Chain A
Amino acid sequence: IQGSGTEGSSHFLQEGQVLEWIHHASCTSLYKKPFVESFEETPLLVAVLTYMGYGILTIFGYLRDFLRDWKFEKCHLAREREEQKDFVPLYQDFENFYTRNLYMRIRDNWNRPICSVPGAKMDLLERVTPDYNWTFEHTGNVLKDVINMGSYNYLGFAENTGTCADAASECTVKYGVGVSSTRQEIGNLDKHEELEILVARFLGVESSMAFGMGFATNSMNIPALTGKGCLILSDELNHASLVLGARLSGSTIRVFKHNNMQSLEKLLRDAIVHGQPRTHRPWKKILILVEGIYSMEGSIVRLPEVIALKKKYKAYLYLDEAHSIGALGPRGRGVVDYFGLDPSDVDIMMGTFTKSFGAAGGYIGGKKELIDYLRLHSHSTVYATSMSPPIIQQIITSMKCIMGEDGSTLGQERLCQLSENTTYFRRRLHEMGFIIYGNNDSPVVPLMLYMPAKIGAFGREMLKRNIGTVVVGFPATPIIESRARFCVSAAHTREMLDKALNAISEVGDLLQLKYSRKNRHGNEGSDSFSFLESHQD
């Protein structure tokens, strides 16, 4: 398994700065279909200009701080109370330097308030700022029918009409909204048990458990599973909730390079051979933390290889399917379904209901012993309030819809629509010449912007053309790799996608974002999209 069939059977195409991994289905037995991911390298000129941009902004930041300190410029920052002026300052000046001087300039691209369903189209509240983003005022106007490319609405279940909404309404009338108690005390409703049985059936595992918040599912359950003397191997780009959960558990944490199986194998071998640091006692257990789809990169985990490694080295696998459940796979069962693997190979399957099911909360699925143990020892069942009944009903209805158990083919149609939309959207952006990261099948599409000024400009220009996009910069991404992130949804029609693509192309020309140096048309080796589209069912 060392080398795992990748070196021998893949092509590394180097065209200038481009590296692409293509696994042909015939060569490896682990992958049933081609696994195409690309992360085009930053062009050198762009990197240099980006650093220069940040340098100029930093100099201006120091200048403005100086002016504010010496009262030449009005200071809009909130200040400490007079009575507490001689206390130790709550914030260090340099901690907030980035926030004060860089984030503030483009702050209007985030926290945009909406006043409708976060579906394929939404209504935004208009905001104006009289003092360069320090304060906002609502004008009272509403920007109607803004195309929503930012919400995690993969299967389009964020809707206020239809079977899901009706069922949730009935449940609200019958059960009310709150629960006011924990699962172990008197907050365990019959609805919770119904949900857990359904989730277990959906995932194909023995048993499952549901929690009220996706973030808390990770941060409260990983400490219950591992402790001192255990080893956690975590991917470089794991979500903050996984990192927090790993830290709170008290285990030793080692990080392997993003999606890199050689790095993971090396860490596993070193860990088992050398044992714990200094004492060299053997590790109690080894837990590998990976995600299904990484939301900032758009990459999909190499699950067949991870499972092969885990079986060889007897480690345990924790798979966080926050973005991939419902969005990947021919039946919508997530990344396990996408690769055609057996769910019992993954020891702990975790996911959230926020993205594809249009509700809130998280779940963990696995063997019965695991879930029984979590029922007793998870922090959430003992100290945190249980889920609200209408939310549970929304999950139950949408899950039945995806499984086809409500008697319609709506679920299957939406899954196909999502997959078509994803392929179309990625292909068109690729043809236009943008640098797109990630796997060809992932509905999360990051488009690289690089320069700090373009972050703000892109967000604002797209809003002018009535398209709501999400832009991300430092510290969520490395400092020169800022990006715009699109989330394709099954609710988007072809017209909406075309409108969005035209607007993106226009703004791309305006801001000179078409950095890619790959071949647009031509040799079969690099045209992975035609291969994929011809093989799509």
Chain B
Amino acid sequence: MSLFGTSTGFGAGGFGAATTDTHNPMKDVEVTSPPDDSISCLAFSPPAMPGNFLIGGSWANDVRCWEVQDNGQTVPKAQQMHTGPVLDVCWSEDGSKVFTASCDKTAKMWDLNSNQAIQIAQHDAPIRTVHWIKAPNYNCIMTGSWDKTLKFWDTRSPNPMMSLQLPERCYCADVVYPMAVVASAERGLIVYQLENQPSEFRRIDSPLKHQVTGFTYQHRCIAIFKDKQNKPAGFALGSIEGRVAIHYINPPNPAKDNFTFKCHRSNGTNTTTPQDIYAVNAISFHPVHGTLATVGSDGRFSFWDKDARTKLKTSEQLDQPITACSFNNNGNIFAYASSYDWSKGHEYYNPQKKNYIFLRNATEELKPRNKK
């Protein structure tokens, strides 16, 4: 039978067979032909592209491209392989190319028109992050690696345009011109400015630092948010222990404006049993509303309004962790990937377990409260 034989739209449910399953408790649309191993990253095509294309990278070494049609139907389009697990993907701003970062220590440029991929970057260790930077005077690819460097690549040269030393291994990064932020192992946090050329702007003490004990938790995911003028204003930093910090770069009142909140924990109200804390696996900001989504090892996604400081929604619990998420360019679609995130190590890995990517209508649920 055809998955979309009866043309279910977003949020309408109606996957007869799936209703009893715990793999899709939110009754969202399943992307056809998901990867065969954990999904490490998702990215939707930029506004410049007509339509929606979704890229997903996986631990099965592949990067896949789907077209997401307006009725929610997904059409597998193509795939490229790395020789190691793929850890991050990003788009060029015109949507013609996709950049992929892999454990094979390379980054590749995938030209979607010709379906060719060529290597464009090389590190001494697996590349954890890849981002496209479009500046008025230059375009480049920024790669962050576990070799403790951050490199900037012109896609035509074998040598990086610039290489910056990081204090530690790069764990996550985000770019919204003219700002880039990199979070590293041992709680490193560096903001870069990208005007003219990339340069270190400021090192920040991890906002995930415990106020009293000084313990900080491992950085796991980061996403830049913008202000009303559509300029990068700060970032949300997710930790391995169920906490997200909202941090402004130049807040009028740092003590007031910056804050952290807990998320992806169980037994929230019950104080008698220990609270289970899960890793925050990914953060994504809604492109229109500025609200954010977090996904966690607990198999839930949550929507938050950082300005009102409220939670907008928490999903039911999936039977697997959620490892990645992304909004499409107009914020109508929220894609999230359900697969094992290795948070409990090798023993809990079940290669037979199927991975999913789900698509959810994101317009209504991510509207800030009390607005309009």
Whether A and B are associated in the same complex: the answer reads no
Give B residues with C-beta under 8 Å from A. none
